[in-house]
């Protein structure tokens, strides 16, 4: 009876002081809003067990397009945001939805196509010249059309041409409204060009006769960032656990874990956190 009263009194003291009681083992998880590329590439399957083993914190990933991930995090539906659209990430922090943004890693985007390459763009290193030639040939182009980081990057590149792909929507320009893996499958099915992050392309199993036709333009650089969702604006955020994950990802251990992930001998992501 005395022990039960003591436990009740301790709990009441925590509540009276506005302090959270210690998290139970069942509560030691966080939700990370992230992109399909980090999930589809297999990166999270590689690095998250390392973090969980060290910290005891389970990471549950919601893998959607970057635009949707940012919307979800803006609604407080998550503890950490891990995406690849730096201007949108900076707006997220500026709006008070995130605490601080950190660079994590990079790779690049590529344009892939069937071996026949109907627009004849293979080997072109100016990505906007290649896109212009695809449009002039009215060769089918599959766009994610889902406000993802990849879609945002693609639209920025089209904006540097004289082509308005939206005007050709449903014709040679086809928006899938899907993630990267599904869009690659659609492109292979219809023999269309598409833009993919390199990590998902390397991991993609249904390549058929498709190959990379455009790569190497500096404008195809693809930076990823990580942000703790702001607990002052969203009180349900598990700030301590989420910050532990952010700290680990940008630490030497986390960066080494990212660098060690390879598929068919190829490194998919290149860590570049500045601690």
Q: Are residues 155 and 235 in the same domain?
A: no
How far apart are the C-alpha atoms of 147 and 155, rounded to whole Å? 9
Q: Are residues 120 and 181 in the same domain?
A: yes
pLDDT of residue 12: 42
Domain assignment of residue 9, yes or no: no
Q: Are residues 216 and 147 in the same domain?
A: yes
How far apart are the C-alpha atoms of 25 and 146, rounded to whole Å? 37
Residue 204: name the closest of 137, 264, 125, 130 by CA.
264
* Dihedral angle, C-alpha 46, 49, 55, 61, nearest 10 °: 80
Q: Are residues 74 and 203 in the same domain?
A: no
Enumerate residues 6+ apart whose C-beta is below 8 A from 180.
Answer: 36, 37, 40, 144, 148, 150, 196, 197, 200
pLDDT of residue 9: 41
Q: Are residues 149 and 159 in the same domain?
A: yes
Residue 51: name the closest of 32, 70, 66, 69 by CA.
32
* Number of structural domains found in the chain: 2
Q: Are residues 205 and 227 in the same domain?
A: no
Q: Are residues 113 and 216 in the same domain?
A: yes
- Tracing tokens 């995090």 back to the chain, one arrives at 73
Q: Are residues 101 and 117 in the same domain?
A: no
Contact 261, 42 (CB under 8 A): yes
pLDDT of residue 1: 41
Q: Are residues 253 and 204 in the same domain?
A: no
The CATH number of whichever domain residue 42 belongs to comes to: 3.40.190.10
pLDDT tens-digit profile, the chain (275 residues): 443 433 444 444 434 444 444 455 568 999 999 998 898 899 999 999 999 999 999 999 999 999 999 999 999 999 999 999 999 999 999 999 999 999 999 999 999 999 999 999 999 999 999 999 999 999 999 999 999 999 999 999 999 999 999 999 999 999 999 989 999 999 999 999 999 999 999 999 999 999 999 999 999 999 999 999 999 999 999 999 999 999 999 999 999 999 999 999 999 999 999 85
Q: Are residues 215 and 83 in the same domain?
A: no
Q: Are residues 188 and 59 in the same domain?
A: no
Domain assignment of residue 18, yes or no: no
Q: Environment class of residue 41 by beta-carbon count within 10 Å: exposed (0-12), middle (13-18) or buried (19+)?
A: buried
Structure tokens at 88: 């949108």
CA atoms within 13 Å, Cβ hemisphere of 77: 12
Domain assignment of residue 13, yes or no: no
**pTM (two decimals):** 0.85
Domain assignment of residue 5, yes or no: no
Domain encompassing residue 260: 24-106+223-271
Residue 103: name the closest of 92, 117, 116, 89 by CA.
89
Domain assignment of residue 19, yes or no: no
Residue 217: name the closest of 144, 121, 82 by CA.
121
Domain assignment of residue 63, yes or no: yes
Domain assignment of residue 229, yes or no: yes
Q: Are residues 217 and 230 in the same domain?
A: no
pLDDT of residue 40: 86
- Residue 139 sits at φ, ψ, to 5 deg, of -75, 140
Enumerate residues 6+ apart whose C-beta is below 8 A from 67.
Answer: 85, 88, 146, 147, 148, 149, 151, 152
Domain assignment of residue 4, yes or no: no
């Amino acid at each position: 009876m005395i022990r039960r009263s003591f436990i009740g009194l301790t709990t009441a003291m925590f509540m009276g002081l506005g302090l959270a009681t210690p998290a139970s083992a069942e509560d030691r998880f966080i939700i990370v809003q992230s992109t399909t590329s980090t999930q589809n590439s297999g990166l999270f399957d590689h690095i998250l067990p390392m973090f969980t083993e060290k910290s005891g914190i389970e990471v549950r990933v919601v893998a959607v397009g970057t635009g949707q991930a940012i919307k979800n995090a803006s609604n407080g539906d998550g503890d950490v945001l891990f995406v690849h659209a730096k201007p949108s990430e900076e707006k997220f922090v500026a709006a008070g939805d995130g605490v601080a943004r950190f660079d994590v890693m990079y790779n690049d985007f590529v344009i892939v196509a069937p071996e026949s390459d109907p627009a004849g763009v293979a080997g072109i290193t100016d990505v906007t010249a290649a896109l212009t030639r695809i449009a002039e040939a009215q060769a089918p182009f599959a766009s994610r059309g889902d406000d993802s980081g990849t879609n945002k990057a693609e639209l920025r590149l089209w904006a540097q041409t004289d082509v308005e792909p939206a005007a050709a929507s449903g014709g040679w320009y086809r928006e899938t409204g899907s993630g990267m893996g599904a869009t690659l499958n659609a492109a292979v099915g219809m023999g269309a060009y598409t833009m993919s992050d390199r990590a998902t392309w390397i991991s993609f199993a249904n390549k058929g006769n498709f190959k990379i036709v455009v790569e190497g333009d500096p404008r195809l650089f693809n930076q990823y960032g990580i942000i703790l969702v702001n607990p002052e604006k969203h009180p349900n955020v598990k700030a301590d656990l989420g910050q532990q994950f952010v700290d680990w990802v940008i630490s030497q251990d986390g960066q080494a874990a990212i660098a060690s992930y390879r598929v068919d001998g190829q490194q998919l992501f290149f860590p570049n956190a500045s601690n």
